[in-house]
Chain A
Amino acid sequence: MAVTLDQSSASAVVEARRAHNEKLARKADQTRATWFPLAVMAILIALPLLQFTGNYNYLLHMVLFTASHVAMASGWNILGGFAGYISLGHSVFFAIGGYFSGMILARYGISTIVTAPLAGLLAAVVGYLIGMVTLKVRGPSFIISSIALLMIARILFDNWELIGGANGVTLPVNDLPVQWAKIPYYYAMLAIAAFTVWASYKIKHSKFGLGLRAISKDEIKAESAGIDTRFYKVMAFALSAFFVGMAGAVWGEYLTYLRPNIFLVILVSANLVLMSILGGKGTVAGPVIGAILIVALNELFVATMGASEINILGTGMVMAAGLMFFPLGLVGTLARKGKLPRVLNWD
């Protein structure tokens, strides 16, 4: 028989504490500005109306590109931020999503927007299986295993004739007029990003999220606290791959071609890591803010310095400076200091 403390006799002190805690919780709820991302969403949903007044394809492209990175960085954050397992191999799931849906589009003409959830599912299954092997090690060993995964996948894709090998495959272009050609992908990517951020919020506030946090702090303690650490980690890996896979699916069709040297490069993974870390890994808002900042910075440096190595250097410097002042990322550090602007508090 397990020993339980009699709760019916909870003392007046406990009652008073409970009231106090509920007050604290209500206050935390009030300072949480979930309306802000919703308002931004509303604006972004209405944005394509601009196309009636002129050509805003560049703007739509930038939003779409940012949304894809919001989805991928938030997905990466489930494993890298919540569970604390830094993966540099997430490009693999981006490629799996892109190729799976892209090949179905090429063969059967079914849009990737329809098959994206399936692509995510496939990425999740692959993530689950890979996680079962690689999540046995942590820290630098795990990072290296994730890079190895990427290298193996690259060799595989480069030599797999069925999917075009190193030359890749060209995908059919939709027959919408130029003015409207981007719109389906725009909305699809926006939906994927919103879904990912919502899921990330749900996970963070669930038992699963609490367990992942415990794992990221002290795995031995977490295990002894009764958490099935192996299962939690593998699930985190699978979910994380799911969102990256979905984004990859739509990205492939939007790009109109699939090629290993676009999808299976470490830069794609590295960007997700940088975005999450700069914004604040382990937070819900962090990867979103990080993705927006890095995409914007990259664009700014490309515009002012040209698409040379210098723009990468510029982004790198800003990154380094950012982390010097915000070691836990923007959202993480500001929240720790109690200085997080309300509009960024959606965690």
Chain B
Amino acid sequence: MLEVKNLCKHYGGIRAVDGATFTVDKGSITALIGPNGAGKTTAFNCISRTVAPTSGEVWLDGQRIDHLRPHKVTAKGLSRTFQISRNLSDMTVIENVIVQSRVDGIAGLFKPAMSREEKDKAMSILDFLGITRIAYEDGNNLSYGQKKLMDLAALLMSDPKIILLDEPAGGVNPSLLEEIISHIQALNARGLTVLIVEHNMDLIMRLSHRVVVMAQGRVICDGTPDVVRKDPQVLDAYLGGVLEQEAA
């Protein structure tokens, strides 16, 4: 469904992403893992076109999308969250969510900001995530975890085919972590494809069908969680450290 071919993003001399190639299968939950600074966020930025890749190709459902502008990528059905939640301040949760719904043409621009249908849709998404009670709360007043859930809600408003989640459970408490895992599984069960960056290995091993491991801008390993877990290169570059930490 999503194919990333030879993706490169260089910042001056820094090769944040350096020839990464991987695919995400339709209907799968694929994890993108790797040590800090491996280039995961940068890869997300290039795929969603938040930044322009230096070179390489990104294909979505057989269409090349790496030359599109970000809003077009979203319109094609690929939506992403940001590692550091970028909520729109001074806007309510429901506005934060509805701002992500599709607008049709120039005539659509001058329709009411939030139609009844959109409000209903937003409310049912918020209900699914269990946060209807904060719908009219100012986005500024949310807890860290609520912001993560709001990000997820906004994502769903654009009717995506594939979602890219950048550390959706980074820094949240264990009970919310469980909640987020079950939301992702539920969405996946309804056919949504997921590409997820996460540091929590427990979450990754439970959730993902496939794991892509990045280090220093490259993909060093790619396979099922069990295969990746035992790969010597991965152990060396990344998991070694994590597993040792967990053992300690």
Residues of A participating in the B interface, judged by any CB pair closer than 8 Å: 1-7, 10-11, 13-14, 17-18, 21, 24, 202-203, 205-211, 213-214, 217-218, 220-230, 235
Contact = CB atoms under 8 A, between A and B. Distances in A.
Given A17-B132, A211-B99, A228 B113 contact: no
Interface stretch (B9-17, B83-91, B195-203, B222-230): B83-91
Interface in B88-137: 88-91, 95, 98-103, 108-114, 119-121, 123-125, 127-128, 132-133, 135-136
B91 A4 contact: no
Contacts of A205: 112-113
B232 interface: no
B50 to A, nearest CB: 6
Nearest to A328: B90
19 contacts: A3-B160, A3-B161, A3-B192, A5-B125, A10-B123, A18-B119, A203-B110, A206-B109, A206-B110, A213-B90, A213-B95, A214-B88, A214-B99, A220-B50, A223-B71, A224-B74, A224-B79, A226-B79, A227-B71
Contacts of A4: 159
Top 10 A-B residue pairs of the complex, sorted by shortest distance between their CB atoms:
A226-B74, A2-B159, A221-B86, A208-B109, A210-B113, A217-B88, A223-B70, A225-B100, A3-B192, A17-B132
B138 to A, nearest CB: 10
B191 A3 contact: yes
The residue in B50, B75, B102, B110 that gathers the most chain A C-beta atoms within 10 A of its C-beta is B110
B48 interface: yes
A30 B126 CA distance: 27
A21 B119 contact: yes
A211 B50 CA distance: 17
A5 to B, nearest CB: 5
A129 B135 CA distance: 39
Given A2-B159, A207-B103, A210-B114, A224 B69 contact: no
B120 A206 contact: no
Contacts of A224: 48, 50, 70-71, 74, 79-80, 82
Contacts, number: 133
Contacts of A209: 113
Contacts of A1: 161, 191
If over half of B's interface residues share one DSSP class (helix, strand or loop), that class is named, otherwise mixed; here it is loop
Contacts of A226: 71, 74-75, 79, 100-103, 158
A2 B120 contact: no
Given A220-B86, A225-B158, A206 B123 contact: no
Contacts of B158: 225-226
Interface of B: 48, 50, 69-71, 74-75, 77, 79-80, 82, 86-91, 95, 98-103, 108-114, 119-121, 123-125, 127-128, 132-133, 135-136, 154, 156, 158-161, 187, 190-192
Given A17-B135, A217-B88, A228 B160 contact: no
Nearest to B85: A221
A6 B192 CA distance: 14
Nearest to A4: B159
A17 B99 contact: no
B70 to A, nearest CB: 4
A227 B113 contact: no
Contacts of B125: 5
Contacts of B98: 210
A1 to B, nearest CB: 6
B88 A213 contact: yes
Contacts of A213: 88, 90-91, 95, 99
A221 B85 CA distance: 10
Contacts of B132: 13-14, 17
Nearest to A227: B71
Given A226-B74, A227-B99, A21 B109 contact: no
Given A18-B123, A206-B109, A24 B136 contact: yes
Contacts of A210: 95, 98-99, 113-114
B102 A10 contact: no
B99 A14 contact: no
A220 B88 CA distance: 11
Nearest to A210: B113
Given A217-B89, A217-B91, A230-B69, A13 B190 contact: no
B103 A211 contact: yes
B103 to A, nearest CB: 5
Contact of A5 (B79, B90, B156): B156
Contact of A7 (B121, B156, B160): B121
A4 B82 CA distance: 22
A323 to B, nearest CB: 18
B95 to A, nearest CB: 7
A11 B109 CA distance: 31
The residue in A21, A207, A211, A228 that gathers the most chain B C-beta atoms within 10 A of its C-beta is A207
B142 to A, nearest CB: 15
Contact of B82 (A3, A217, A221): A221
A18 B74 contact: no
Given A2-B77, A220-B50, A7 B95 contact: no
